[in-house]
Structure 1
Amino acid sequence: MTTETVRAADGATAHVLFHRQPDEPSAPVLVCMPAMGTRAAAYTPLAEALGRAGFQVAVGELRGQGTSSVRVGRGVRYGYHEMVAYDYPALFRAVGPPSRGPALPPGHSLGGQLGTLYLSQEPHMAAGAVLVGAPSCHYRGWPFPQSLGMLAGFQLAAAFASVYGYFPGRRIGVLGNDSGQVLRDMATQVRTGRYQVPSSEVDFESALAALELPVLAVAVKGDAMAPPGGVRGLCDKLTRARVTYWELALGDSVQGSRHYGWIRDNAALIDRVRQFVNHG
């Protein structure tokens, strides 16, 4: 495993964790972006297992998290637009041209959502996508009464972040610290079901509908943060993509949140990804 620093067009930097296959430079490259409030280093067990399975792996970092040079605080403003327009292109430039091996971004949760928005603009940068626990955050994708909790919770979080100057997730024990704009962007999608990014002129809904890449969408059974209805909600936007939907069952020994348990209990997922790569 090696670490490289990537620089976005606006000057922001972050470390990318690479696991390359020097003997097989044309092996598929799995490009992973983390969930909201989650450091790239948390995916090391997955990256190592994928490397042993013969894949090349690049684990990026969401803006404001982990090794990102952007530090969350009052007056620091960034949202979906900055991550899609700057951070994802920088990561894919670091991965290199498709001749090195077809890139298949496996994005987790928010990392998968934003990765899909990026690919809707630059579909030539990947041979397909693997989305794990990556839902549309529209509240109707959650069963009642959790759906109302989603709707109210994110509107309150966005309002609080606007007043406080940022979202202090670590202090209140919910996700991590993040920009108020990220919370406002997410709250909009929770409420409307549409990816309407105020700071971007891109019509992401039309772009998602036009995306034609093969997609493996994985819902983890028992994952309350990305239930099947939410994962299918994102799939439903990809009307021209060749979507394979699959539900992953984790072992009984998995402790803690099912939203993250697959990072270590990864054998079944890796087998399914291998099938997707070979036949997709």
Structure 2
Amino acid sequence: MASAEVTTQTVRAGDGATVQVRFHRRPDDPSAPVLVCMPAMGTRAVSYTPLAEALVQAGFQVVLGELRGQGTSSVQVRRGVRYGYHEMVAYDCPALFRAVAAAFPGAPRHLLGHSLGGQLGALYLGQEPHMAAGAILVGAPSCHYRGWPFPQSLGMLAGFQLAAAFAAVYGYFPGRRLRVLGNDSAQILRDMATQVRTGRYHVPSSPVDFEPLLAAMDLPVLAVAIEGDPMAPPGGVRGLCDKLTSARVTYEELALGEGAPGGLHYGWIRDNAAFVDRVRAFVDRA
């Protein structure tokens, strides 16, 4: 069995924000493909350690990125701290991918984005597709409410508008207290609520209309929906795929075992054998 060499590096974004990024290397095969993991909303990078370990055993190298405001991020969520899609796509993603390129100069790189991390990673690669050989998007939907079946679609629409309004008044979104996702910036909620309502990745925090960039992204993409996942149903995952009109998209649905740890949206991180097999097959084809 291969053993990983695990190191940590401080990665500094263009606006000065920092995160501690974990590199899971294969000293025996430094040219092995690298998967750059971008977590779900409100989820710490360390949560993906079991997945990273399984991927190393399958022949990959893995980098665990950290979303702004979570885990090791120097940006702490509190009243008065504002960041949104703009800061994460324009500053954080470039810093992460450039650090990975410098650390693994001879290895192909693929985005491995979960949920919001998959959406943000796709927005970034729409601008700089040369930074990756492909993208793996897991439970990563367009959050347009029409991607959810009725009547959940109306709950999705109303819920995010209310959450954004509440966060604006409260100063941030106290997800841990509410037991809904994690704590996050009011601007993130505003950006997400806009995309939920309009279906477009043209959000208040960013001057960039990401829609034509997504359409022009010419990369192989594996999009995985978890069967029964209420946070990323097939309609939502396909909604993001439909924006990638120049990409070579492979869409698959993955069934997890009974009682998957962490629920369906997160259970594949530990119940990962079938997912790892699909990633191996996709990267071998890409």
Q: TM-score, normalised by structure 1?
A: 0.98
SS at match of 1:120: helix
**Aligned residue identity for 1:64:** G
Residue matched to 1:16: 21
Q: How many equivalent residue pairs?
A: 280
What CA distance in whole angstroms lies between the structure 1 residues aligned with 2:276 and 2:240?
A: 22
Residue matched to 2:94: 89
Say whether 1:217 aligns with 2:229: no
Cα offsets for 1:173-209 (capped at 9, x unmatched): 1111110000000000000000112232222000000
What CA distance in whole angstroms lies between the structure 2 residues aligned with 1:197 and 1:36?
A: 17
Moved over 4 A (4+): none
Cα displacement (A) at 1:146: 0.7
Identical residues among aligned pairs (%):
79
What CA distance in whole angstroms lies between the structure 2 residues aligned with 1:93 and 1:236?
A: 28
What CA distance in whole angstroms lies between the structure 2 residues aligned with 1:45 and 1:29?
A: 16
SS at match of 2:141: coil
Q: TM-score, normalised by structure 2?
A: 0.96
- Contact 2:191 2:205 (8 Å CA) reproduced: no
What CA distance in whole angstroms lies between the structure 2 residues aligned with 1:249 and 1:164?
A: 38
What CA distance in whole angstroms lies between the structure 1 residues aligned with 2:261 and 2:224?
A: 20
Residue matched to 2:60: 55
SS at match of 1:207: helix
Cα offsets for 1:220-250 (capped at 9, x unmatched): 0011100000000000000010000000111
SS at match of 1:106: strand
SS at match of 1:31: strand
Say whether 1:197 aligns with 2:207: no
SS at match of 1:105: strand
What CA distance in whole angstroms lies between the structure 1 residues aligned with 2:279 and 2:177?
A: 37
Cα displacement (A) at 1:253: 4.5
SS at match of 2:266: helix
Q: What 5-or-longer segments of structure 2 have no aligned partner? A: 1-5
Mapping 1:65-144, distance limit 5 Å: 65-97=70-102, 99-144=105-150
Cα offsets for 1:94-118 (capped at 9, x unmatched): 1125742111011000000000000
What CA distance in whole angstroms lies between the structure 2 residues aligned with 1:149 and 1:115?
A: 26
**Aligned residue identity for 1:78:** Y
Q: Please say which of residues 76-85 and 88-97 is displaced more in the overlay.
A: 88-97
Q: What 5-or-longer segments of structure 1 have no aligned partner? A: none
What CA distance in whole angstroms lies between the structure 2 residues aligned with 1:241 and 1:96?
A: 22
SS at match of 2:203: coil
Say whether 1:237 aligns with 2:243: yes
Say whether 1:260 aligns with 2:266: yes
